[in-house]
Amino acid sequence: MGGTNPYIRQPNAPKPKKAYKVTFKGDVKDVVIEVDPAKVPYGETGLPGSLLDIALHNGVEIDHACGGVVACSTCHVYVTQGAQTCSFSEDSEQDMLDLAPDVRPSSRLSCQCVPNGDSDVTVEIPSWNRNLVREGK
Ligand code: FES
């Protein structure tokens, strides 16, 4: 299951114009992904080009119980670098983050957070949501 929620306003997220890196930090190892603007969005889950889309396409597993339609908070991550280059956090995302554990100023729902590529982005996956290596991809 996956996609976008047609009943909420979609954030205005410009496509990246140059390559940038997304680093996913976990307790096993960091995963650095070079994002080629010609290849995003990947069409996985969540908003096109979102951190969740990037993660899943590159074998970084982040829980996403609702399939990226802003109906859960299981894709909660911390954007610790490059947050200013990410799409605005809409009210629907903030409402779901209110239900998430250990919310911080850097908290985002990875399915709703779309970087514009102006700088590299670092993402910390909360300890309860770490499963960095997906088998068979
Ligand atoms: Fe449910 Fe992101 S996967 S809100």
Ligand 1 pocket check for 66: Cβ under 6 Å? yes
Full DSSP string of 41-103: ---SSSSTT-HHHHHHHTT-B---TT-SSSS-STTEEEEEE-GGGBPP--HHHHHHHTTSSS-
Ligand 1 pocket check for 62: Cβ under 6 Å? no
Ligand 1 pocket check for 64: Cβ under 6 Å? yes
Q: Which residue has the tokens 């010609």?
A: 38
CA of 101 to the centre of ligand 1 (A): 14
CA of 119 to the centre of ligand 1 (A): 24
Q: What is the pLDDT of residue 10?
A: 65
Entry pTM: 0.88
pLDDT per residue, tens digit, the chain (137 aa), is: 556 666 666 666 788 899 999 999 976 689 999 999 999 999 889 999 999 999 999 999 999 999 999 999 999 999 999 999 999 999 999 999 999 999 999 999 999 999 999 999 999 999 876 554 444 44
